[in-house]
Amino acid sequence: MNDVERIYQLREELHRHNHNYYVLNAPEIGDQEFDFLMRELQDLEEKHPECKDDNSPTMRVGSDLNKNFTQVVHKYPMLSLANTYSEAEVTDFYNRVKKDLNEDFEICCEMKFDGTSISLTYEEGKLVRAVTRGDGTQGDDVTDNVKTIRSIPLILRGEGYPREFEIRGEILMPWVVFEQLNEERERKEEPLFANPRNAASGTLKLQNSSVVASRKLDAYLYYLLGEELPAGGHYENMQEAAQWGFKVSDIMRKCASLEEVIDFIHFWDVERKNLPVATDGIVLKVNSLRQQRNLGFTAKSPRWAIAYKFQAERACTRLNKVTYQVGRTGAITPVANLDPVQLAGTVVKRASLHNADIIEGLDLYIGDMVYVEKGGEIIPKIVGVDKEARFMVGDKVKFITHCPECGSPLTRYEGEAAHYCTNDTACPPQIKGKIEHFVSRKAMNIDGLGVETVDQFYQEGLIHSIADLYSLKGPDIARLDRMGKKSAINILEGIRASKEVSFERVLFALGIRFVGETTAKILAKVFRSIDALAEATLEELIQVDEIGTRIAQSIIQYFADEKNRELIERLREAGVQMAMEQIDISEYTDKLAGKSIVISGVFAHHSRDEYKEMIEKNGGKNVGSISKKTSFILAGENMGPSKLEKAGKLGIQIMSEDEFLKLLE
C-alpha cells in the first residue's frame, strides 16, 4: 500500500473510532492506539501536502491561528421556542394543537439541552459550515472550532442523506469537563464560568481553535432541515441522522396522548439530574412534518413546538445589604448582597431584587434569611423570605429616593415598575453605559473599545457623550496608562470604520428607550432616515407594524429633547450614517402589491433569496406555508408532493419561474 492509500485508510479508520468513542460510547481501541494512528496520519499528511483535506480527522486538533469570525446569514432563520412553566400551559398547548389540526397527531418529547445552539450545513456528506445562532437571522461562522468537537461528524456514514441539508443542535460542555475547567481557572486565578452553558458558548467563540479542542465540548443534534428529508416525521428523521453518524439523544419519545407527555415530563424532571450534561426543560414537538407545516410559525417561534422549563433550583441564605446599580437608561436596579451559597452548580453572592414593588411585597429586613432561585437568566433572584427564621434582624429595606451615583432625586414614570435617575447628561454610569452600548458589537462594533477603556476615557475627561468619540485624537489616547501608539491607531481605525455602519444599527446604537435591535430595523426600513423618524407623529409611529404606544412615546420623547437633536447633528457631521443607503427606485414596482407568495422547489435562473428580494421589491410578501390567503406559488423543479397536494386542494395557482419573470418584466 502506498502512502496515499494509507492516508485514506487511516482517515476512514479514525473517523470510525471517533464515532465509536464519542457518539456510541463504545470504543474498540485504546487511547494510545488511537493517538498512534493519528500521529501516523499527521506525519503522512505533512509529507503529502497534495492530499490536504479540510475534513480529515487531523483537523480536529485545531490551529493556533487567530481569526475573526465572519457573519453568515441563516438560510432558515434560527427561531426560539415559546416557554411554558406549568402542566396547565402544556395542556393548553396540547389542546390548541388538537383543535388546530383536527386529526390524530403525535408529540415527540425530548430533553431541552442547556448549551449553545449551532447550525451545521452538510453538502455531499461533508461538513461545510457551522454557524452560531447569532441574532437568529445571521450568526458567526465557527466551523474551525466546531470541527474540534469529536462527536460532530466531519464526513457522514452510511447513505440516504440529502445532498444538502442543515442539522441543528446544542453544543454542550459536560458537567465533569466544566468542573475541571473551573478548578483549573481557580488555580490560575482566572474568572470562573457561571455555568456549563456560558462555558460552552465562551469556548465556541475562542479565536484559537486548538484551545477549543482542549476543552472537550460535546454536541446533541435535534432538528433536521432541508428540501428533501428522508422521512415525514421528526423522530424518524432524527433516527436516520443517527445512522449518518450524528449524536442524537436516545431520550426521545413519541406520545399519542397528553397523559404520556405529562408522564415523560414527570420522569425526566427527576432523572435529568443523572445526565452528563445540563438540561433545563423538555421540548415538545408535533412529530409529523406535514402537520408542522400546517401549524406554521409565529414571528418568533414555531406553533408546532414548545419548551416546558423545569422549576429552577432554590437555596436559602442571609441578606447582608442592598445596593443599587444605575443602568444606561438611568433605571435603578436594587441588588441583594448575600452570604455566598451554592445554587445549581455555582456560588451565588448577589441577586436581583428588581424594583421597589418587589421589595415592598417581600417585606424585607436586613439580616433576613431569603430564598434565591436561578431562572433562565444568569442573574439569580430573591423569591421569598423565611419569616420563621426572622429574629435579631436589622432595618426594614426601604427603596432609595436619590441616585446613589450623582445624588439626583429619582422619579418613576407612569405604568413602569422601575425608578429612574433623570440626570441623563451628568450621571456617570448613565453616560458610560450609553457609550458602552453605542460601541458594542451589535451596535457600532468599535474594535478596541470595551467597558474598561470607556471608563478610562471617561475618567480622563476625553469623552462625555457618544459624539465625543469622533473627536478623539491619537496623542490623547496614546499618552494614557496601558495605551500606546498601536492601541490608539487601532481604536481610531475602529471609530473610523463605524462611520460605515448601517443606519439601522446606528438607530439601535443611539440607545433610545425600548428601541432594541429588531425595533430599530423596522423603524429604519419604514422611515429610512433619522430626519423622517424625528418628524414622525405618534399616530404615524403607531401605524407601523409592531410599534406600540410605549415605543412610540419613547421615540417622540427622545427627539423632543434638544440635547438629543444636538447629539445627532454632531454624529451626522462626523460622518455617521443617518439614513438608509440610497436605493435604486427603478427596481421597485407595485406589480405584486397585496400578494402573498410561497416559493417552493429548485430554480434555474435565480436563487431563492433573489426571488424573495424580487417579490419584496415589487411590493409582494414572501410567506412560508401555503394557506387560503396564498396568492400563488412560485414553483421551481421538484416541488414537494405535500405542497402540490395542498395547493391543489385550495385551488392555488402554481406559477413557473419563467412565467414569474415575464410577469415582472
> What positions carry a catalytic annotation?
112
What three-state secondary structure class fits 27? Answer: coil
Binder among 18, 117, 600, 630 for ligand IVH (CB under 6 A)? 117
238 binds ligand IVH (CB under 6 A): no
**Burial annotation 398-411 (CB, 10 A radius, 16+ → b, else e):** ebeeebebbebebe
Q: Which is nearer to ligand IVH, 23 or 305 (CB)?
A: 305
Q: Which is nearer to ligand IVH, 307 or 533 (CB)?
A: 307
305 binds ligand IVH (CB under 6 A): yes
Binder among 93, 222, 508, 527 for ligand IVH (CB under 6 A)? 222
79 binds ligand IVH (CB under 6 A): yes
Pairing of strands 653-656, 621-623: unpaired
Residues 6+ apart with CB under 8 A from 210: 61, 62, 63, 64, 148
Residue found by looking up cell 439580616 in the block: 367
Binder among 10, 57, 58, 110 for ligand IVH (CB under 6 A)? 110
List residues bridging with 426 in a β-sheet.
none
170 binds ligand IVH (CB under 6 A): yes
- Residue 651: count of CB within 10 angstroms of its CB: 7
Which stretches does DSSP call E strand in 374-482?
A: 381-385, 410-411, 420-421
- Residue 548: count of CB within 10 angstroms of its CB: 12
Binder among 174, 302, 429, 511 for ligand IVH (CB under 6 A)? 302
Residues 6+ apart with CB under 8 A from 538: 549, 552, 553, 556
Q: Which is nearer to ligand IVH, 280 or 405 (CB)?
A: 280
113 binds ligand IVH (CB under 6 A): yes
CB 79 → ligand IVH: shortest distance, Å?
5
CB 146 → ligand IVH: shortest distance, Å?
15
| Range 461-490, binding ligand IVH (CB under 6 A) | none
Binder among 15, 19, 74, 112 for ligand IVH (CB under 6 A)? 112
Residue nearest to ligand IVH (CB): 117
81 binds ligand IVH (CB under 6 A): yes
502 binds ligand IVH (CB under 6 A): no
Binder among 80, 342, 502, 557 for ligand IVH (CB under 6 A)? 80
**Burial annotation 213-237 (CB, 10 A radius, 16+ → b, else e):** bebbbbbbbbbbbbeebbeebbbbb
Radius of gyration of the chain (CA): 28
283 binds ligand IVH (CB under 6 A): yes
List residues bridging with 302 in a β-sheet.
297
Q: Tell me the C-alpha distance between 23 and 12, whole Å.
A: 16
Q: Which is nearer to ligand IVH, 224 or 536 (CB)?
A: 224
| Range 127-146, binding ligand IVH (CB under 6 A) | 133
CB 269 → ligand IVH: shortest distance, Å?
15
C-alpha cell at position 86: 406549568
CB 165 → ligand IVH: shortest distance, Å?
15
Q: Which is nearer to ligand IVH, 286 or 427 (CB)?
A: 286
Cα 372 vs. chain centroid, distance in angstroms? Answer: 26
Q: Which residues bind ligand IVH (CB under 6 A)?
A: 79-81, 110, 112-113, 117, 133, 170, 222-223, 283, 302, 305, 307
